[in-house]
Amino acid sequence: MLYIMRHGKTDWNAVHRLQGSEDIPLNEEGRQMARDARKKYGDLRFDICYCSPLQRAQETAEIFLEGSGTPILTDDRLREMGFGMYEGTEHVTQKPDCPVYTLFHDPVHYHAVDGAESLEHLYARSGSFIHDVLTPEFVSGKNVLIVAHGALDCSLICQYEEIPLEHFWDQLLGNCELRRLVSSANV
């Protein structure tokens, strides 16, 4: 089985600041969310965890898996989508004049500018992770956990479950929410 989790809350999440590839740590609420998730999903066992190298995801994985013996491997392809010069911008989903606004309201027509990562690039790197890592793990029958980020998680879910781009944000997980992935493809 394949499972995916979004990292716990950070101070930037709390003020709706776009994090992207900025390496923002969990806040205390985020750490508690990870501890609560460990209790909530305590009956699940994972053979391996793949994690973003960003500290908010790594700390979430470490707290969530504490005492389980599950190895945690980082993979740079699991970094959050880069938003270029717009990282750090607050309330970007409410600013129609900001180019990143389109990503959140109409992802099909989003065009990356000013150093932001395109959805095509995000899909290419997360797709290579699916091909190189998830497919072999699925075939081997392992229980795999992925701990990453909002947009990155959406890209994995959409590709793995063959969900159209217009439903990209419908897949957004809450902080420390766990979802089992169901492949509609022949893996």
Question: Which residues are known to be catalytic?
Answer: 7, 80
At residue 11, φ and ψ (nearest 5 deg) are -60, -35
Find the helix or strand (DSSP H, E) in which 18 lies. none
How far apart CA 87 and CA 150 sit, in angstroms, is: 14
Residue 187, SS3?
A: coil
β-sheet bridge partners, residue 180 = 3
C-alpha 70: how far from chain center:
19
Concatenating the DSSP letter of every residue in 91-113 gives SGGG-TTSTTHHHHH-GGG----
